[in-house]
Structure 1
Amino acid sequence: MLSKARARAFVRFAREQGPKELIRCLRRNQENHILYHYEGQLTGDYDQTESEEEILAMIRWGRSHSPEGGRGDQT
């Protein structure tokens, strides 16, 4: 299971930031149309990235991948 970048990134984020922060970011991202799973599929927006680092950035900052310009409230 942890051979996939998405799983590793989610576990790492939860360890480093805490599960409550992970849930908060996922909810914010979902409100901004970033989906964990596409309807009827086992993949979603977090699977479209190249690396664990990119997934971590997407969790934290949304589609912008940076704190300076982006979607969500980032707080």
Structure 2
Amino acid sequence: MKRELGIARCGLACCLCSENSKCSGCSSGKCPDKEWCENRKCSIEKGLEACYLCKEKCHKGLLNKIKPYGFTIFIQRYGVEELLDCLERNEKNGIVYHRQGINGDYDDFDDADKLIAFIKSGKR
């Protein structure tokens, strides 16, 4: 885990991304997808560092996927540091962020509250 890469504007975990050897994270401004990222554009227009700081309940862009949406809700409830702590602990316990491609253990949910419970406990 590259904790210093943190969490992307949309809630994805740059710190665990399999692309982080090529990408220096969303907050660096050097993300290769920054031109098309709807969440980046929206949060910048609103003057926000990230979607989790927004008061609107939103499913724009990557927030229409369970992992970034659930991570965003987790941060709103418990904070960024708590999410990073849980992700780090879970990684050490064998929970995989990305397997082949971009899917991993955090993608196996269709309900944000169940995903959040999994993040907190590391158990299904």
So what's the TM-score if we normalise by structure 1?
0.77
Q: Structure 1 stretches of 5 or more lacking a match? A: 65-75
Cα distance, 1:16 vs. partner? Answer: 1.1
Identity %: 35
- Greater fraction helix: 1
Greater relative contact order structure (CA < 8 Å, 6+ sep): 1
**Larger Rg over CA atoms:** 2
Question: 1:19-64: per-residue Cα shift (whole Å, max 9, x none)?
Answer: 00000000000011111111x4101001112311111011100124
Alignment length (residue pairs) = 63
Residue pairs, 1:44-63, within 5 angstroms? 44-63=104-123
Q: 2:34 corresponds to which residue?
A: none
Give the letter aligned to residue 59 of structure 1.
I
Q: 1:42 corresponds to which residue?
A: 102
Q: 1:13 corresponds to which residue?
A: 74
So what's the TM-score if we normalise by structure 2?
0.48
Q: Structure 2 stretches of 5 or more lacking a match? A: 1-61
SS state of the match for residue 63, structure 1?
coil
